Amino acid sequence: MSDERPDPGTVRPGGRTAKTREAVLRAAGDALAEDGFDRLDLAEIARRAGVGKTTAYRRWGTVPGLVADLLTEMAAESLPRTETGTLLGDLTAQARLVQSTLSDPRQGPLFKALITAAACDAQTADALHRFYRTRTDEWAPCVTAAIERGEVPAGTDPHEVIRAVSAPLYYRLLVDGGPIDQPTADRAARAAHTAAKAGAFTS
Amino acid sequence: MSDERPDPGTVRPGGRTAKTREAVLRAAGDALAEDGFDRLDLAEIARRAGVGKTTAYRRWGTVPGLVADLLTEMAAESLPRTETGTLLGDLTAQARLVQSTLSDPRQGPLFKALITAAACDAQTADALHRFYRTRTDEWAPCVTAAIERGEVPAGTDPHEVIRAVSAPLYYRLLVDGGPIDQPTADRAARAAHTAAKAGAFTS
């Protein structure tokens, strides 16, 4: 990374650089949600954000660089997990959060565009995988707590349980086009919970 | 559909038209697997297939038209389900078929490119959803048979069980980049089987 592109962590919060970044990432998210990734253009995003084209090119370099930074920001800003006291309650909360995100008129197309962009570019794929690692790490402790309470067997892989809850919802978004509704979310949570209790996710 | 683009079902098998179609679909699959969908070009595919550009444009019109026809062919040519006599055996066979397809050096990138193309184009999305409906319809009878044997509760939705087996493997391919290996396949089958037996997929 060149000296001219500050690491996100070093940006003074609320400063001019931070405001520029916020405006450009917002415009990038809007463009992705509205037009998909295949029509993404760095100069057009800078224009929408009211930021100089040169600034955008100097800071992000390329569209994949910008999309990677958007994913970093999304990981930092994403919601903390819900703690309900039972594993089924926690997994249902996780499933409903994924469901409401993927069925949201802005967020659904945005996630589809980000995943599509990752399929076409290695840098974006790395950033996407880091984003999902962050989200899985956030929710995994609900399974660890369930192991400690004796709700699921020792040796259960927390990350596998969390992925099992999300997978059917992403499958509908990306693969078979089925409805991403609350019954689907609740069924995904119930299926993962039942399988976890029976030891299907022990390694 | 115009008179100039024969419906696939009306093409004489082994005839010149069928051979042209086979060559062009093969070239389209190769190009998708090698370069991804975002660099797909109808004239270049015709060239690779040794077919006149005019013929390709007349027959398929656009890249999405060609990709839709490829998906129709893939649905027609796809493997029949395996019958093992137990639901866990059948679901494991299904999971391993999906796993070996998605981890294959040609098929994995091809499916990723097809799903990516569908995210960017409505005609391709329709064809993709039809392809997965065909595949789910092919495997669903193994759940119906398990209901009849009393292995899983009456009212279990066969299609939901089949989708639950595939979803974790597609999640790895498209979303989190985890390994698409046999333990993942077997775990997906075991989790879906356990959840189905406990009634998690009854509607």
Q: Are A168 and A174 in contact (CB under 8 A)?
A: no
Q: Do B36 and A120 touch (CB under 8 A)?
A: yes
Q: Do A176 and B129 touch (CB under 8 A)?
A: yes
Note the pLDDT of residue B4: 46
Note the pLDDT of residue B7: 54
Question: Where along chain A do its domains lie?
Answer: 15-62, 78-197
Superfamily of domain covering B78-197: Tetracycline Repressor, domain 2 (1.10.357.10)
Chain A residues whose CB is inside 8 A of the B171 CB are 163, 166-167, 170-171
Which has the higher per-residue pLDDT, B94 or B8?
Answer: B94
Interface probe, candidates B171, B180, B186, chain A, greatest A C-beta count within 10 A: B171
**Is the pLDDT confidence value at B104 over 90?**
yes
Cβ pairs bridging A and B (under 8 Å): 113
Instruction: Tell which B residues from 141 to 160 touch A, by Cβ distance under 8 Å.
Output: 160
Pick the residue from chain A with its C-alpha nearest to B34. A120
Chain B contact present for A106, CB below 8 A: no
Helix or strand or coil: residue A99? helix
- Summarised one tens digit per residue, pLDDT across range A52-61 is 999 999 999 9
Q: Do B168 and A170 touch (CB under 8 A)?
A: no
**Is the pLDDT confidence value at A102 over 70?**
yes
Rounded to the nearest angstrom, the minimum Cα separation between B79 and chain A is 19
Which has the higher per-residue pLDDT, A14 or B126?
Answer: B126
- H helix runs in chain A, sequence order: 16-35, 42-49, 53-60, 63-77, 87-102, 107-120, 122-139, 141-149, 158-171, 182-197
> How large a percentage of chain B has pLDDT more than 70?
93
The C-alpha atoms of residue B102 and residue B37 are separated, in whole angstroms, by 17
The C-alpha atoms of residue B154 and residue B175 are separated, in whole angstroms, by 33
- B15-62 architecture in CATH? Orthogonal Bundle (1.10)
Structure tokens at A59: 């800071």
Chain B residues whose CB is inside 8 A of the A192 CB are 191, 195
The residue type of B87 is: L
The C-alpha atoms of residue A5 and residue B174 are separated, in whole angstroms, by 29
Pick the residue from chain B with its C-alpha nearest to A201. B187
Strand partners of residue A202:
A156
- Summarised one tens digit per residue, pLDDT across range A119-144 is 989 999 999 999 999 999 999 999 99
Q: Which ipTM value was assigned to this complex?
A: 0.91
**Is the pLDDT confidence value at A65 over 90?**
yes
Q: Are B28 and B40 in contact (CB under 8 A)?
A: yes
Q: Do A170 and B175 touch (CB under 8 A)?
A: yes
Q: Mean pLDDT across the stretch A108-124?
A: 94
Q: Do A177 and B129 touch (CB under 8 A)?
A: yes
**Is the pLDDT confidence value at B57 over 90?**
yes
The residue type of A160 is: E
Pick the residue from chain B with its C-alpha nearest to A164. B168
Query: B77: burial class by Cβ within 10 Å (0-12, 13-18, 19+)?
Result: exposed
pTM for the predicted model, two decimal places: 0.91
Chain B residues whose CB is inside 8 A of the A111 CB are none
Q: Are A60 and A42 in contact (CB under 8 A)?
A: yes
Q: Do A167 and B163 touch (CB under 8 A)?
A: no
- Topology agreement, domain B15-62 and domain B78-197: no
